[in-house]
Each structure stands twice: as structure tokens, then as C-alpha cells.
Structure 1
Amino acid sequence: MSFANHHVEPMQLDASIDVDVDVDEASDLSNSENYFQVIDSAPFEVETYASQYSGHSKLIRLMYIADHCPPLQIDALEQAMKYVKGHTFNVSMYLQIHGKLVAAQNAQPGDQANVEPLDNGWIEKQTKLSQIIFEKLETDLKNYKTNSIKESIRRGHDDLGSHHLLCGDLTNALKYYTRSRDYCMGDHHLFSIFLNVIKLNIYLQNWAHVSSHIQKAEAGEFSSNQANKSKMNCIAGLLKLVHANYREAAERFVKAHIDDLKSLNDILSPNNVAIYGGLCALATFDRDELRKKVLHNSDFRLFLELEPQLREAIGRFLESKYPDCLKLLDELRDAFLLDIYLAPHVKQLYNLIRSRALIQYFTPYLSANLNRMASAFNTSVTALEDELMRLILEGMIQARIDSHNKVLYAKDTDLRLSTFETVLEKGRDWQMKATSLILRTACSRNGMITIRQQNYMPPQPQQPLSNNTAKATNHNSNESSFHHSLPSNPQIQSSHHQPSSPGNSMVSCSPSSPPATNNGCSSDVCEKYN
């Protein structure tokens, strides 16, 4: 279903060629049988595309292209078969690829002499060799366990996991990789184990396990390593993309460093990082973030150099040349739809990018002609009205549509009325709080409720001493002699002794004086002792 055959305008939202993608269910679309879109164009060369990947990821992506793009089906299957026969023991994958390749070549018109017969000799040879290697690795692991050498046991589990992966047995490979963690001796080995387990869970699309192992890997001490951090950011970005958290995915991808991803091509390639991060950023970042975090980011700009057309589209978006941006993105659409992880999210991402373009296009104006606007966005006036209506209802554009005159008017905001409404709202809020306080006080006064009061003692103001009040000295010797000189009458009340400067005299209350005040003795009932 090509755009030319169906006369679908670029970036048109209501095109029947697209399949509706719900954001909440986008993470399950990669396995959904209902999501199947056929691409009738050949957006890239299969050999160049396949050279970016290695391992089981290469086979997964080539098989996805073969299933969704008839023009590239034979090339993709031939590349997959070449890799399987040269680098793996995966006999079941070889049989599957050969069956599809024969069916595809028989469906082609013309000579059918190019159909490759089934290589039974290779199948028998690889089966025997795989069994011999497995038995040897199992024997070695038993010997390592007998000798109780932890490093050798870990290496034995890793070797068995890698062997099962080459045979296409992902479940057993994951089992052996997981067991090797119990015999890990250092941070480097621990990170390698986490990476292998995450890789297998991505192949199996167990995204919940991928998320838990990413958290464990980032919590480890080895996560401070720049290369490890960059790899985890890319894998976490892929996880966020699968779960349709596009902004968080963009934040992760823009933190990656291209030099740290050389050994990650069995999961992602640098081109994938550029595409995933660029599209997610274009759909969720504002203009300042796009400029600072994407185009002016020296690390991420190296990724964008691998995808010049996407980099140009982002630049056109920042220059407010939205028709050019959308046209460039539309040219890349078929290539994006052949990516196994990105394909379920292409429609949603393109819708978000288009909505942001519409909002930023109309923001500087008080009114806009819908005919000119539809021409700029390569769509019809009716479809544009539907898009604008959705944006207005969602509160993303403050405007009104004049369907008769085909004009979009910005909503006029009366500042005076807005101020009065704010004041009235504040008054109603204050009235409600005052009424509530009065009611609470009345209920407490009538014993209906009990209000707990905090034990708060306000500070007592300190009154100055009178002029006639004497001050006590702070010398211990004088104070001791003074106490010995006092009469032993129990009715005599002891006075407050205030420390004074050296040389001052001592004072004492007389027996007939009233009790001393808080600030010292009364002036008319004290006797002075020299």
C-alpha cells in the first residue's frame, strides 16, 4: 500500500493506510497479530542495514523486514540465511528461513532456477557439532564445580549460555546466564551478566524483566563507569519507547555517547539511537530543549550525523519551516515502519509531531486562514478542521473555528474580566475558610468538639532592676563568707543573687521583708553589707 497508489497526502492523520495505535497499548503491539502493516517500497538496502547489527538481533530484524516488506523479502531472507549458516548452529531458524525463501522465490514471475535446495549436509553437520560442543561444555562445568573455582564456574555458565544462544535456544541461554551471577567475582563481570540477561529478555520481549534488571544494573557501583552508563541509558530508552513514554525515552537517548556503543550492536545500533532519540525529542521537547539537548548536544549530534535527513527535519522544525519538516519525515516513514521496535509507535509519534507543529504555527497569530494552513500542512481543509477541533477540545490551542469563512481565530482574553474572576475566586476561598473557622470555634465552645492546643509558653519579658537594688558578686570566696555571716533564722528568705562586676557589695533580704520578686529583692527591705 504505497502513498502514490492511494493518493495519501504526507502526514495526513485520517489516512486509511495507518493502523490506529493507542498509547497505553503500544507496548504490546510488537507481538499483536492485529498490527501488521505491509510496505510496498524499498526504503534502504538490506545489506547495508544488516551490517549494523550482529547476533540474534540481526536475525530478528531481517525476519521482520521479510514479513512486512515484499520488495525486500528475498534480500532479507538471503542475508538471514547467509548469517545463520556462517555464524550459528540454529538449524530451526535455517529451516524456517529456507521455507519462506522458497515460497517467496516461487511467487516471483519468471525463472525459478534460483531456488536454493535444502542443505541437509549442513544441517547434519551443525547438529552433531552443536551436540559435541554442548557435552564438552557440560563436562568442563562439572569439573569446575568439583574444583570449586568460582571464576571458572562463572565462565562455564557463560559459555553454555552463549552456546544455547547460537543454537537459538533462548530460554536455556537465559537460564545459564542467570546462574552465572552466583559465581561473579568483580563489578566488570557483574555488569556483563546483567547485560547478557537484559539482552535475552529483549529477544524474548519480557519487558518487565528488562526493567527490573536495568534498575539493578544502575544501582550497582559499576554504573558510575561512563561506558556502562551510556549503554544502560540506551537500553532504558528502548524500554521507555516500547512503553510509549516518549519524553523519558528521549531524555535517555540524548545522554548516550557514540564511542560506548560499539559492543551493543546485538541490541541497538548508533543509527537506532539517532532515530529513536530524534523522533521522541521532536514529539515531546519544546524548542529550547530541542536546541540545547539535541542539535547543540555535541554527543548526540554525532548520532544525528548518521541520519542526515532526520537531522535536517529537526533543523527545519526549529526554523518554523513545518511543511518542509513534515515532508522530510514522511519520506522516512517507510524506513521507520520496518523497525521492529519503532513501527508500533510511528503513527503516534507522527501525530504528536504534527500537533506540535500546528500549535507552534498558529501561536503568533490572532487569526489564520484555514485554506492557507491546509496547503502548508499538505492536507485538506476538512481534515485540518478535525485536527484543530481535537486540539481545541484538549486545551492545546486557545482558539475558535469559523467554519463558514474558514478562519481560525485566537481566543481573545479579557484581562480585566480575568482579574475580576481571580479576585472573586480568592474572596470565595477566604469566605469558606472564615466560615469554617467560626463554626469550629462555636462547636468547641459548646463542648461538641475538643481542640488540642500546643504547649506553647510565650517568652516572659524581663523587667529592669530598680536603682536601689543591689547586685551580688560572682567571686566564690566572697559569696561563701557572705553566707556564713547570715543569721540562722529560718524565717529569713534567701535572696536572689545576681552576678556583678568585681568590687560590688552583697545584699540580703531582711526577715520582715515580703517575698522577693522575680527580679530580685525589694529596695526598702534590704540591708547593705559592706
Structure 2
Amino acid sequence: MSEAPKQTKKPVDDGNFDKEVISKWPDLELAQTRFMINHPEVNANVKEAKLTKLQEAIKENDMAPFYELVCAEFKIAADATQLSAMKAANAKRIAEITAEVEDAEKNLGESEVRQGLLRKFEYYCQIGDKENAQKAYTATYEKTVGMGYRIDLVFAMIRVGLFFLDHHLINKYITKAKDLMEQGGDWERKNRLRSYEALYRMSVRDFAGAADLFLEAVPTFGSYELMTYENLILYTVITTTFALDRPDLRTKVIRCNEVQEQLTGGGLNGTLIPVREYLESYYECHYDRFFIQLAALESERFKFDRYLSPHFNYYSRGMRQRAYEQFLTPYKTVRIDMMAKDFGVSRAFIDRELHRLIATGQLQCRIDAVNGVIEVNHRDSKNHLYKAVIKDGDILLNRIQKLARVINA
């Protein structure tokens, strides 16, 4: 008697097998190029070269919606012939994909329908059509069953938000990605989410939140669709020097093998050498070198980075304040001219900076202009905590009394 053939169980497609389902569109390098063309301090010849590069990419990928956007933004006349040809190519490709989806709905299965919808979504991302990309995302997401595939879709929408720096869109889909991760995201995608969220937090000036996430992303980084590994190291150093105190900076950055390996190597074409010197001069208290490196990074990197550019003044002020605090902490009194010499600046500059920080309560010291010294008021942490508890207790008692009056009324 012959045995019945064994039935093999068909594996369930949960979306965790294929890590490259979503393409790398939209291309964030094009967004950086667009930013540089708009920047008022970029040399005219450099702008012209970047505009040519951007137009070539637009033409190559038939990016008609994005072409109309940048022409209006740069106040340049659109090439009517090129725009018409790109729109025709867009319409043709969308019609082809729509026909494939309709055929799949009639003759094939749900998986083929989802793949067709995914191609349409990717195409809208490729041509820079944000509105239609959001509509296509919704249709694709509804047809997607696997958790991994759904998370990849959400990542793509975060990239759309980053491409246009639409913070509402980015925040919405980061929240969505976190919810999906709690339902069953895999390890690799959780690591990728850290990079996405870190970049977003840095772009909205949450340097402390970004620093923690960048540090977690460094050992297992894989989100090359967002940034290069060198840029990850740059952002990690920039945010951690701003957010961490000295013990944490030593433990998490100075002694981090992955960070130090990149900084020691200097990066491609030496791009990380200034970053290494910036970190070392700050940590080793070489304040004159630190000011030079901070100014160099500000003028050469921060201003021309689309994520950091809106915040470079805020960052520079914050880092100068941290350097002053670090310098003043060991002293009870220090001469103003000695401090100015250590920082490599004029006495008038230090005097002006300290007046601003003391007036706003950011530095706990006072200036004795007659004797030319700074008197440091070291905060008693226990006394400060005691006063904070008393203050918070008074606020709580007042609220309880108000609540009691409402209840008894």
C-alpha cells in the first residue's frame, strides 16, 4: 500500500524574511542638494553645479511634481517640453501599475495586489509626489498583512516626511512605527527606528533625546538610506557633547570603540578630523582650541546641514555656556583676563558673554568689575533640592485646598 504524499505546510509570510521590500526612495541626498541651492551663503558657482545635478536627477527619474516645486521655489522658469514629457511618463507608468493591480484583483491573489500597490507607492515616492504617496500608502497598508512589511511601509513614509522636512508627518509615522514595534517588530527594524527617531529629534532641537538614540544606533547601524556612517558619528558627537555631562561623555563616547575607530581614522577625505579635534579639545579643556573648532564646524558643517542649520546659533550658545561652566567649576574666584586668555578671546567678549548668561540665570556667578574677577557661587545641591521640595510642596498644598473648596461647595 503506497503512502499518501505528505503535505508540506506553506510558510506564513509575516514580512520578516525580506528586509529590502521598500526601496530607498525618496532620495534624501536630493533634499540636501535642494537645501544647498536655497542657502544664501553658498557660492554661486557651487549653486549652479548643484542645480545642474538636481535637474539631471529630476529628468532621469521623471520627477514632474518635484520639478514644479523646485522651479517655483528657486524662481526659475520650468522647461515646458521637459515638464510635459515627464508628466506623460508619470501618467503612463501609473496607468501601467493600475492595470497590473486590477489584473491581480481579478486573476491573482492578495499578495500580487499588495505588490502592485507597493510599486505605485514607491513610484510616487520616487517622483516626489507627497500627497499621492500618502494616498498610495493608505491603500498599500490596508492590503499588507505581515508586520515587517507594514513597518517598512511606515519607514518609507517617515522618509517622505524627512525629504520635505514635514515634522507633523514624521512625528505621526514615528509614533505609528513604535506602536507596530510593540506588536511584534524584529530586532533589525527596531535598530533602524532608533536612527529614524534620532534624526527627527535632532531636527527639532531635542539634542538630549537624539544623543541617547544615536548612541544606541552606533554599534548596529544599518539605515544607510538616511545617512552615511560618518554622518552618524558626526551627529553622535555633536548631540552628546551638548547633552551629556563629563562622566557620561567619557564612558559613552570617549571610550566607545565604534566612535573612536571612526574618529581615529578621520573618515573619508578627513571629514571627521575636525570632529575628533572638537571632541578632544572640549573634553581635555583646551578652550582656545575648542572655540576655534566650534567656529569651524559652525561655519563649515552646521550651517550647510539641513537638519542642523536652523539650530546652529542655539547649539553654539549652549556649547559656549557648557565650556564656561566647565572652566569655572573648580574655582571660587578667577580673573577675567586669565579666563579670556584661556579661551583665546578678548576680555570684552568674555565680559559680554558672562553678563548675558548671569542675567538669564544660566551661570551661577557674579562679576566684580572693580577687581576684575569672577566670583563663582557653587550651588549647594542638598540646599537646592530642599528648596525645590518646599516649593513643589506649597504648590501641591494650594491645589489640594482649591480642590477641597470645589468639593465642599
TM superposition score category, shorter chain reference: 0.7 to 0.9
Partner SS for 2:216? coil
Query: Match for residue 100 of structure 2?
Result: 140
Query: Match for residue 468 of structure 1?
Result: none
Among residues 174, 184, 199, which one is paired with 2:144 in the alignment?
184
Query: Match for residue 368 of structure 1?
Result: 334
Question: 1:480-512: CA deviations, max 9, x gaps?
Answer: xxxxxxxxxxxxxxxxxxxxxxxxxxxxxxxxx
The answer to whether the Cα contact below 8 Å between 2:333 and 2:373 also exists between their aligned partners in 1 is yes
Partner SS for 2:325? helix
The answer to whether the Cα contact below 8 Å between 1:246 and 1:284 also exists between their aligned partners in 2 is yes
The answer to whether the Cα contact below 8 Å between 1:254 and 1:300 also exists between their aligned partners in 2 is no
Q: Whole-Å Cα distance in 1 between the matches of residues 38 and 200 of structure 2?
A: 24
Pairing 1:40-55 to 2, within 5 Å after superposition: 55=26
- How far 1:326 sits from its partner (Å)? 2.0
Query: Match for residue 32 of structure 2?
Result: 61
- How far 1:359 sits from its partner (Å)? 0.7
Query: Match for residue 212 of structure 1?
Result: 172
Question: 1:220-259: CA deviations, max 9, x gaps?
Answer: 2586534312221111112222332211111111111466
Q: Whole-Å Cα distance in 1 between the matches of residues 43 and 53 of structure 2?
A: 15
Greater percentage in helix = 2
TM-score, with length taken from structure 2:
0.76
Structure 1 residues 347 and 136, CA gap change in structure 2 (3 angstroms): same
Pairing 1:217-366 to 2, within 5 Å after superposition: 217-219=177-179, 220=181, 225-257=186-218, 260-262=221-223, 264-265=224-225, 267-301=226-260, 304=263, 306=267, 307-334=272-299, 335-366=301-332
Q: Identify unmatched segments of 5+ residues in structure 2.
A: 1-23, 391-409
Pairing 1:464-475 to 2, within 5 Å after superposition: none
- How far 1:302 sits from its partner (Å)? 5.2
- How far 1:179 sits from its partner (Å)? 2.0
Pick the structure with greater CA Rg. Answer: 1
Query: What letter matches 2:255 in structure 1?
Result: H
The answer to whether the Cα contact below 8 Å between 1:78 and 1:101 also exists between their aligned partners in 2 is no
Structure 1 residues 81 and 303, CA gap change in structure 2 (3 angstroms): farther
Q: Whole-Å Cα distance in 2 between the matches of residues 99 and 208 of structure 1?
A: 23
Q: CA RMSD in A?
A: 3.5
The answer to whether the Cα contact below 8 Å between 1:323 and 1:377 also exists between their aligned partners in 2 is yes
Query: What letter matches 1:59 in structure 2?
Result: L
Q: Whole-Å Cα distance in 2 between the matches of residues 189 and 412 of structure 1?
A: 55
- How far 1:200 sits from its partner (Å)? 1.7
- How far 1:408 sits from its partner (Å)? 0.9
Q: Whole-Å Cα distance in 1 between the matches of residues 279 and 184 of structure 2?
A: 31
- How far 1:98 sits from its partner (Å)? 7.4
Over the matched positions of the two proteins, sequence identity in percent amounts to 21
- How far 1:389 sits from its partner (Å)? 3.0
Structure 1 residues 162 and 258, CA gap change in structure 2 (3 angstroms): farther
Q: Determine whether 1:171 maps to 2:131.
A: yes
The answer to whether the Cα contact below 8 Å between 1:187 and 1:221 also exists between their aligned partners in 2 is no
Q: Determine whether 1:74 maps to 2:48.
A: yes
Q: Whole-Å Cα distance in 2 between the matches of residues 291 and 70 of structure 1?
A: 39
The answer to whether the Cα contact below 8 Å between 2:233 and 2:259 also exists between their aligned partners in 1 is yes
TM-score, with length taken from structure 1:
0.60
Question: 1:288-342: CA deviations, max 9, x gaps?
Answer: 1111112222344456553231122112211111221221121121221111111
Q: Whole-Å Cα distance in 1 between the matches of residues 183 and 292 of structure 2?
A: 44
Partner SS for 1:185? coil
Query: Match for residue 466 of structure 1?
Result: none
Structure 1 residues 412 and 145, CA gap change in structure 2 (3 angstroms): closer
The answer to whether the Cα contact below 8 Å between 2:124 and 2:133 also exists between their aligned partners in 1 is yes
Query: Match for residue 508 of structure 1?
Result: none
- How far 1:100 sits from its partner (Å)? 9.0
Q: Identify unmatched segments of 5+ residues in structure 1.
A: 1-52, 105-116, 429-530
- How far 1:349 sits from its partner (Å)? 1.0
- How far 1:347 sits from its partner (Å)? 0.9
Query: What letter matches 1:372 in structure 2?
Result: M
Structure 1 residues 244 and 101, CA gap change in structure 2 (3 angstroms): closer
- How far 1:65 sits from its partner (Å)? 0.5
- How far 1:172 sits from its partner (Å)? 0.3
Structure 1 residues 253 and 383, CA gap change in structure 2 (3 angstroms): same
Partner SS for 1:277? helix
